[in-house]
A and B are shown apart, each in its own frame.
Chain A
Amino acid sequence: MFVDVTVPQFAEGATRIKLNRWLCAVGDQVAEAQEIAEATTDKIAVSIEAPAAGRLAEILIEPGEAVSVGQAIGRIETT
């Protein structure tokens, strides 16, 4: 099963959210709640955590791209 990695809901209201970097690569095994990516606004750094344990199957958004709340940035194949 595939689960989307999304920009956290609490980032709502923040302007200009940008995906800053991925902390793991496609194919990496991740634990549930592991920090796997970072987004930033002009004032706040936001950690993005894996919604489930599994393998990072796909990266949908590259560093430097703008993102919005709830947007899928990657997909995890659950184990």
Chain B
Amino acid sequence: MAHPLDWIDLGRVGYEEAFALQLHLHALRRAGEIADTILIQENPPVITLGRSASEANILRPREELQKLGVSVIEVSRGGDVSYHGPGQLVVSAIMRLRDRVSSIHEYLRLIEQVVMDTLSGYGIQAERVDGASGVWTQGRKIAAVGIAISHGVTLHGLAVNVDPDLSHFGLIRPCGLENTGVTSIAAITGSDPGLIDVRDRLLGEFGRVFEGPVRPSGVDVARLMPAPKE
């Protein structure tokens, strides 16, 4: 039986508000009240610290980050330090693992496949790199992958650089790696396809790779979202 994939696009939203919603959806998925759900968002500039994060991988003092409008928060995914910001498509997948795969390793490979196949649609040859997380092209990271699993249901997912301010990635040492560059779809192809175009292609690949119908979610997001901070 094919398990459907419902999607929600929050547009531009604060990381913490969106994460609170993600936890809500995770609880609903665990309770079997909703289908597997893909949550899509774009964040204002933010540095997130994963569970194995080292503060030393934030390369600028907090005051300087504050001046640049970049906030710093701790999150529950695996991995080290990540940057999210405008021009980057952040995609969280809330999936009950046992319905789809036999291991988290297999799940991770499928998530990476979704990203690589999406990039392939823009003529970008991307690959996994042994010992490094994310998806890479021409020796640079073009998408971050960070996953958590709790009670058999996944959280977090991936972030594709569509056309972000690449200089902001210089504020961190991405995922603890030395001397690695970061790139974007726009930097490689010379044009910004826009987040909506990338979103739609990603959703198509999710449906193909995970073999389920992709459909808009009927969840009332406005009811579940906390009020945005002023």
Residues of A that sit less than 8 Å from B by CB? 10-14, 18, 20, 33, 35, 38, 40-47, 49
Contact = CB atoms under 8 A, between A and B. Distances in A.
22 contacts: A10-B98, A10-B102, A10-B152, A11-B104, A11-B105, A13-B105, A14-B105, A14-B108, A20-B52, A35-B150, A41-B104, A42-B52, A42-B78, A42-B79, A43-B108, A43-B147, A44-B148, A44-B149, A45-B78, A45-B148, A47-B149, A47-B151
Contacts of B133: 42-43
A61 to B, nearest CB: 16
A44 B103 CA distance: 12
Interface in B163-177: none
B146 A43 contact: yes
Given A43-B79, A43-B108, A33 B52 contact: no
B140 interface: no
Contact of B147 (A18, A20, A45, A49): A45
Given A45-B149, A49-B151, A40 B105 contact: no
B51 interface: yes
Nearest to A17: B104
Of residues A10, A18, A38, A43, which shows the largest number of chain B Cβ atoms within 10 Å of its Cβ?
Answer: A43
B103 A43 contact: no
A47 B131 CA distance: 22
B106 interface: yes
Contacts of B84: none
Contacts of A12: 102-103, 105
Contact of B78 (A13, A35, A40): A40
Contacts of A41: 78, 104
B145 interface: yes
B108 A44 contact: yes
A45 B76 contact: yes
A38 to B, nearest CB: 6
B97 interface: yes
B141 interface: no
Contact of A40 (B51, B98, B145, B150): B51
A10 B104 CA distance: 6
B77 A45 contact: yes
Contacts of B108: 14, 43-44
A33 B97 CA distance: 16
A14 B103 contact: yes
B50 interface: yes
Nearest to A15: B105
